[in-house]
Structure 1
Amino acid sequence: MIEMDSVTKAYRNGVVALRDVTLSIKAGEFVYLTGPSGAGKSTWLKLVYREERPTKGTIKVGGFDLTKLKARQVPELRRSVGVVFQDYRLIDRLTVAENIAFALEVLELPEREIRRRVAELLDLVGLEAHARRFPRELSGGEQQRVAIARALAPKPKLLIADEPTGNLDEETAASIVRLLMEINAFGTTVVMATHDRALIERFPRRTIRLEGGRVAYDRPARQVREAVGR
């Protein structure tokens, strides 16, 4: 699903966010991307959905070679990559159902198909009863569930979650991770950036840690479990 080969990202201000990163993530995996602030997590994610381009190296995502991708192909890439942010980024003037539908309207799907898909997603994230409410009327955890539903609307192969639990309490954060794992169980590849070690220990999965823009370690779920058990 994701292949990075010797990827370096340097910004114009001289900051080198990533240094010679090489790794691969298979289709259907659930992977944590962790590390301290400034380690390069956000830059890594932005490279994957083509908000940024690498200074050196190659990146392939779901069959797209991002280093050769033409501008007209970027929308096609982004339909196959759902993105969830820490601050939700919902549209305040739209209801829960309308926020989810918006992601489908831009694809010009038939209204009947949009209604069916919105209903499916509301059921998946457990918000059927909140379809007509506005984001400001929801808790943080509920808003994040709406954001996840919206990201899933175009049926992406890959879901990226950038610190999705950063603004949530411990149990609400755990419920979001369980939801992401349920989505992963349906076949969607999930990459979740987080600095929350407790969550990783509670729900062990493959964990890639960045430090100073480099891969400090890449541990399978088994090694994460063993480390927790010591």
Structure 2
Amino acid sequence: MSKPVALIVGVGDGLSASLARRLHREGFDLVLAARDIDKIAGLGAETEAQLAVCDASRPADVDALFAALPGPLRLAVYNPSARQRGALIELEPEAVRHALEVTAYGAFLVGQAATRVMLAQAPEDGVRGTILFTGASAGVKGFPMSAPFAMGKFAQRGLAQSMARELHPQGIHVAWINIDGGIRNPGRTEPADRPDSMLDPDAIAESYLMLVRQQRSAWSEELSLRPWVEKF
């Protein structure tokens, strides 16, 4: 029998890499998608993953990605986002459009494609699959000099809420995760006098897996993750 497939879209060397390693240990058949797969070749070999070139804001790329899945899709994770910082009156409209296409429109395309695949496959214990969106505190409160990111994350959060209400009764678990703080990605360090003041990507990955394992009688729609010293 085919192993369950976990798809991660927007893979880099931080959170998504930690998640890929954790899911590999859990026994998933991985598909890792990124615009530049040369940068994740090592991770792909380590996790025995299928690599796919994909710009998630392009419908044709997303269609091709899902058409090539090697087995039943049990998990789809959407990680990409784009920031465009600057004073509101100085923002370039096309740069803002790009940020929204990556953060919000791409999330819609991947969410829609994952839903179509999951609805067409047989459930396991009543569950057809899980779709997770990596959010941020910008999806709860907009910060100055960061309007495009707030717009994208608010839209992404609204998408996830709408999908959850529509799809939970059909056996698809949908959740949006608010990463409320900086992630301790490679190359980023935290002050010596403030241990664990950044989110450990391995710890975040464990929380994602917890969502996948949740029983349908008590599904989470949203999850907020923040270091113990992060202000609310």
Q: TM-score range by the shorter chain?
A: 0.3 to 0.5
Q: TM (normalized to structure 1)? A: 0.35
